[in-house]
């Protein structure tokens, strides 16, 4: 069976493919189009996923879409009659619903074929919940989805287990915590879609001076839900523009003049941030958490279970996520790698696969096999000669589907959990060399040195030394990550011990706001020694407090409030990245690295060409792609700059044993085992 999952005609459009019960690929369209949060029909992601499955669109049996256009129609009609929204707003909504409903026709037109696939429309929040619960490994769990809107609801609460996912309660349009947070984001002067994370990063610099005003905006209800004071919002009645088709998503102004009367005038984006903006951000985060934890406590009262499956766009609020165990009775929480709308592609596909039933035993190269190899001390688990750019035997997240008389969703579960989020494209060393070889002259002129290191231990030690020396390292390995976070395969890595590293990284590459923190990737086995909470955070979706005595050791990743948005690095999920951090640990006694996404104001790099281009146009010091180690010669580069020339191969001192200049790019990449 071949099943295609889609998030289409909405932000973060994405695709995934399940083939014979195996999740073989998943990717967001933005990585191929190179446009952040790209919205529309994700044809390039579809093409990639089908290539991984070795199939064509005409061979697909089922298509799952994370939108159900007819959902909650009676409530839609009731809202129109009672609120009389602008007809242009109604037309926008109808047009977007039609796009979602006609995805089959759009695919047939785009690919010039007639589909044999049956199309399944899965209600938006059910897809969110499925992306969390069905992949969590929990036998049962309380389930919560919170976002802006989807299928006329912003929040869904329910239960996973006993053969199904059941939604018991929803918060419907126009009330939305996502809209509240987005409106505050716009008011503070961050106008782009997806800028909410900036408010979250700014909040610790402020004080809760606007709590009463925020409580005027969001009113908690006795049942644990919330309502917006619609006086301050215009998304439900005015012609707020939304762009979701073949573009970077755009959302019009969400608030009314009343909000500026309440909180003060909006900040123009190019104007400096003042303390009042930081205080507004802090107060908004506090009120969001009050409403979020009220939902969770009400959910736990209804379902007194230790397990929580959480998803939806608001589940990207990693600060709130990190306080769930402190503020609610839940003991174990699962958040998917892509909690936002992209993750709905996997959620919808999982729901459909579950209902179709069937049986599949884990294959020989399953995650359990690789875990056993790691636990048995097999240090050769990553064999680059046999699998040049693979994630060892961890190549696919494998699903086990068991027969159920009711064929309900809980008969579908990941084997085992957590699943590796490395589901995107990968590239062999031969493909990487094809990218490097045409750039030999330019790289030599830029005083770059290239070597090939065929031993993983040596590669990791050399990279760890570069990081410890204060260099900015681009790390491009294996399959691209699924979800918005760089998790050790498309990452920029730095030394977390350097107080000036944040400024260095921003000056050389990122060029982003100074208040935004950088994240640590830490060995899973060391979390309890360095953070105040000990938990699995494989997808960098929670913020924990760094232990007070450790904060001075980690100035580059310790935020102003003593926190860090950590990624726990599990040897069984990413053995090479674990090996790299372990090498840095042996060198420095610090078991973590600064990890930020491999990009420069663009989507995370996908292909070797994009990684090399980012290296060349920035001041990155080292690029490690597969087995290739590319390094700028800092002394030569400085001398060339001073002389006004780019330099050339003959300026590189010394020759390698094969007669090539040590600093030049050889005609054929040599196999060099560096001794460190």
Enter the tokens of residue 56: 């064509």
Percent of the chain at pLDDT exceeding 90: 73
194 in the Ramachandran plot: left (φ > 0), alpha (ψ -120 to 50) or beta? left
For the stretch 455-464, what's the b/e string if a residue is b when 16 or more beta carbons lie within 10 angstroms of its beta carbon? ebebbbbbbb
pLDDT in tens, 433-447: 999 999 999 999 999
- Higher-confidence residue of 388 and 638: namely 638
- Strand bridging mode 2-7 / 62-65: parallel
Burial environment of residue 238 by CB neighbours within 10 A (0 to 12, 13 to 18, 19 or more)? middle
- pTM flag (> 0.85): yes
pLDDT greater than 60 at residue 405: no
Integer Cα distance of 432 and 441 in angstroms:
17
- In total, the chain counts a number of residues equal to 676
- Give the per-residue pLDDT at 43: 98
pLDDT in tens, 452-483: 999 999 999 999 999 999 999 999 999 999 99
pLDDT greater than 60 at residue 383: no
- Give the per-residue pLDDT at 450: 95
Integer Cα distance of 656 and 663 in angstroms:
9
Provide the pLDDT confidence category of residue 636 given band limits of 50, 70 and 90: low
Mean pLDDT of the chain: 85
- Higher-confidence residue of 388 and 352: namely 352
Give one DSSP letter per residue of 170-238, joined into a string. Answer: EEETT--HHHHHHHHHHHHT--STTTHHHHHHHGGGS--TTHHHHHHHEEE-TTS-EEE-GGGB-TTTS
Question: What domains can you pick out in the chain, each with its CATH number?
Answer: 171-334 (3.30.420.40), 429-651 (3.90.870.20)
pLDDT greater than 60 at residue 361: no
pLDDT in tens, 293-316: 999 999 999 999 999 999 999 999
CB 492 within 8 A of CB 597: yes
pLDDT greater than 70 at residue 127: yes
**Average of pLDDT values for 601-605?**
95
Q: Which residues pair with 160 in a beta bridge?
A: 141, 165
Task: Round to the nearest angstrom and report the end-to-end CA distance of the chain.
Answer: 50
Backbone angles phi, psi at 534, to 5 degrees: -120, 110
Provide the pLDDT confidence category of residue 266 given band limits of 50, 70 and 90: very high
pLDDT in tens, 244-263: 788 899 999 999 999 999 99
- Give the per-residue pLDDT at 644: 45
Longest dimension (CA), the chain: 81
Integer Cα distance of 347 and 336 in angstroms:
10
Provide the pLDDT confidence category of residue 634 given band limits of 50, 70 and 90: low
């Amino acid at each position: 069976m071949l099943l295609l999952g889609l998030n289409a005609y909405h932000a973060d459009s994405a695709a995934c493919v399940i083939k014979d019960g195996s999740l073989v690929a998943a990717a967001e369209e933005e990585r191929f189009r190179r446009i952040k949060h790209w919205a529309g029909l994700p044809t390039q992601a579809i093409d990639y996923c089908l290539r991984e499955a070795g199939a064509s669109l005409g061979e697909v049996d089922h298509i799952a879409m994370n939108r159900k256009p007819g959902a909650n129609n009676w409530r839609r009609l009731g809202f129109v009659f009672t609120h009389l929204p602008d007809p242009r707003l109604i037309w926008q909504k109808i047009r977007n619903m039609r796009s979602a409903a006609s995805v089959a026709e759009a695919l047939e037109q785009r690919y010039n074929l007639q589909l044999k696939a049956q199309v399944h429309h899965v209600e938006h929040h059910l897809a969110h919940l499925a992306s969390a619960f069905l992949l969590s490994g929990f036998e049962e769990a309380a389930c919560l989805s919170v976002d802006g809107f989807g299928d006329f609801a912003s929040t869904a609460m329910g239960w996973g287990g006993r053969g199904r996912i059941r939604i018991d309660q929803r918060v419907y349009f126009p009330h939305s915590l996502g809209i509240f947070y987005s409106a505050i984001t716009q008011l503070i002067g961050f106008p782009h879609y997806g800028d909410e994370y900036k408010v979250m990063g700014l909040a610790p610099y402020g004080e809760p001076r606007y709590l009463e005003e925020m409580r005027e905006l969001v009113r908690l209800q006795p049942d644990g839900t919330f309502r917006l004071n619609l006086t301050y919002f215009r998304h439900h009645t005015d012609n707020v523009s939304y762009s979701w088709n073949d573009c970077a998503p755009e959302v019009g102004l969400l608030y009314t003049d009343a909000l500026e009367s309440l909180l003060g005038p909006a900040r123009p984006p190019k104007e400096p941030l003042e303390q009042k903006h930081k205080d507004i951000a802090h107060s908004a985060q506090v009120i969001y958490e009050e409403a979020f934890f009220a939902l969770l406590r009400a959910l736990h009262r209804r379902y007194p279970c230790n397990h929580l499956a959480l998803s939806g766009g608001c589940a990207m609020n990693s600060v709130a996520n990190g306080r769930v165990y402190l503020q609610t009775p839940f003991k174990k929480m699962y958040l998917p790698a892509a909690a936002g709308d992209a993750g709905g592609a996997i959620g919808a596909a999982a729901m459909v696969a579950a209902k179709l039933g069937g049986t599949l035993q884990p294959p020989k190269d399953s995650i359990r096999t690789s875990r056993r190899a790691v636990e048995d001390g097999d240090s050769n688990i990553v064999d680059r000669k046999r699998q040049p750019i693979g994630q060892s035997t961890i190549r696919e997240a494998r699903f086990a589907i068991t027969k159920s008389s009711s064929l309900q969703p809980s008969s579908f579960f990941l084997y085992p959990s957590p699943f590796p989020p490395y589901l995107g494209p990968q590239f062999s060393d031969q493909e990487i060399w094809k990218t490097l070889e045409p750039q030999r002259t330019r790289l030599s002129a830029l005083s770059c040195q290239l070597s090939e290191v065929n031993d993983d231990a040596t590669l990791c030690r050399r990279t760890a030394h570069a990081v410890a020396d204060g260099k900015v390292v681009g790390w491009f390995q294996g399959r691209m990550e699924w979800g918005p976070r760089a998790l050790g395969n498309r990452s920029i890595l730095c030394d977390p011990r350097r107080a000036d590293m944040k400024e260095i990284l921003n000056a050389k590459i990122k060029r982003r706001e100074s208040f935004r923190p950088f994240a640590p990737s830490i060995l899973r086995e060391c979390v309890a020694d360095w953070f105040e909470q000990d938990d699995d955070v494989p997808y960098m979706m929670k913020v924990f407090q760094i232990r007070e005595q450790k904060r001075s050791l980690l100035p580059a990743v310790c935020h102003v409030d003593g926190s860090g948005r950590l990624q726990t690095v599990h040897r069984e999920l990413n053995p090479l990245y674990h090996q790299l951090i372990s090498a840095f640990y042996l060198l420095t006694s610090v078991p973590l690295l600064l990890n930020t996404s491999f990009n420069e104001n663009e989507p995370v790099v996908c292909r070797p060409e994009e990684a090399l281009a980012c290296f060349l146009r920035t001041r990155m010091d080292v690029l490690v792609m597969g087995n290739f180690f590319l390094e700028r010669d800092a002394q030569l580069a400085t001398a060339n700059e001073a002389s006004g020339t780019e330099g050339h191969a003959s300026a590189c001192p010394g020759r390698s044993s094969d007669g090539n200049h040590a600093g030049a790019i050889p005609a054929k990449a040599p196999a060099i085992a560096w001794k460190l």
